[in-house]
Chain A
Amino acid sequence: MDLTLYLPVLIFALVAGGLVLGLLVLSHLRAKRLPTKAKNLAYECGFDPLDYKTPPFNIGFYLVGLLFLLFDVEVIFLFPWAVTLSKTGQYGFFSMVFFLGILTIGFIYEWKKGVLDWT
């Protein structure tokens, strides 16, 4: 592996990070700030906010996120498999098919259970 291939990525990351940090520091140092209580309040239409908690969030999103994570792992395993398929041959091919088969059981279970319907 040739690390110099990543030099543009490094330069990009440094420039982007430097720009963000620089602007933040500059505005922190140079900007004129006159904070008042009303300015610091969270935006509400004309009245004081009732509480400062974050609003509760539907746990359905969490379930979808978790399932996304699991299928994400599955897809990650597909990358090295696809790259080396010509070398691993039939054995490698069917090992992946079996792996996908196991996960498809889970997928069918979710589908039948109705987890994937968002209504």
Chain B
Amino acid sequence: MTEILFYMLAVGTIGCTMAALFMPQVMESVLFLIGAFFNVSGLFLLLGAEFLAFVLIILNVGAVALLFLFILMTLNVSITKGGFYKKPPMVIGGLLLIEMGVFLILKEHTVPVLVKTTQSNTHALGEVLYTHYIFPFQIMGVILLTAMIIAVGLLWEKGRRHKRQEHQSDVKASDRLTLTNPERGKGIKR
């Protein structure tokens, strides 16, 4: 049963990710990305990482995907991707894939095993996070504070609630109009 579920979720993850890459519309890509998040969260559940599974849904689906949608909606451009596979992200992704392959070949890898414990996942996490890993935890707080201040600094202008995309960025050079005052009988040279 677990094996069947694992293969279903794995195929779902890969399928959703591929669909997110190759869908012509960016909106559809974001929706498939959400689908991939759900599948990965199912995989976490199978591994026994209950807390991580639900945090993944709450954070990535509830907040990160929402931000992606907002980004797409704030941009006043109808983005159709097309030929994504020719572009730099694909090269970087390919390099990472090769790196992963090399890593798997060179390093002896162990398969993660489901450890049987009596206490819940959240308990196990909480017991070490706030005592043993206190410094990474506090650094986390500082990082969040930095992110907050950067977000405000980037997006907030006093007295100007609505920061807008410059309309000029949506205009092609051929659309622009130039006013000239040509001399009589000479015309305009471009």
Q: How far is the CA of A76 from the CA of B63 in the complex (A)?
A: 12
Known contacts A65-B66, A72-B63, A110-B148; A79 and B138 CB within 8 A of each other: no
A100: nearest chain-B partner, CB-CB: B141
Instruction: Bits for B58-77, please: 1 = Cβ < 8 Å to A, else 0.
Output: 11001110110011111111
How many residue pairs between the two chains, A and B, have CB atoms under 8 Å in the bound complex? 153
SS class, residues of chain A in contact with chain B: helix
**Chain A hits for B67, CB < 8 A:** 62, 65-66, 69
Nearest CB on B from A67, distance (A): 7
Query: How many of chain A's residues have a CB under 8 angstroms from any CB in B?
Result: 50
Please tell me if the beta carbons of B130 and A95 are within 8 angstroms of each other in the complex. yes
Tell me the dominant secondary structure on chain B's binding face.
helix
Task: Tell me whether A47 is interfacial, beta carbon within 8 Å.
Answer: no
From B70, B137, B148, A70 is in contact (CB under 8 Å) with: B148
Give chain A residues whose Cβ lies under 8 Å from the Cβ of B127: 84, 87-88
The 7 closest A-B pairs by CB, nearest first: A80-B126, A84-B126, A57-B73, A92-B130, A106-B148, A102-B141, A69-B63
| 26 A–B contacts from the bound complex (CB under 8 Å) | A3-B2, A54-B76, A56-B75, A56-B165, A57-B73, A58-B162, A60-B161, A61-B70, A65-B63, A72-B63, A74-B144, A77-B129, A80-B51, A80-B123, A80-B129, A81-B129, A84-B130, A87-B126, A87-B127, A102-B138, A102-B142, A102-B144, A102-B145, A103-B144, A105-B145, A109-B148
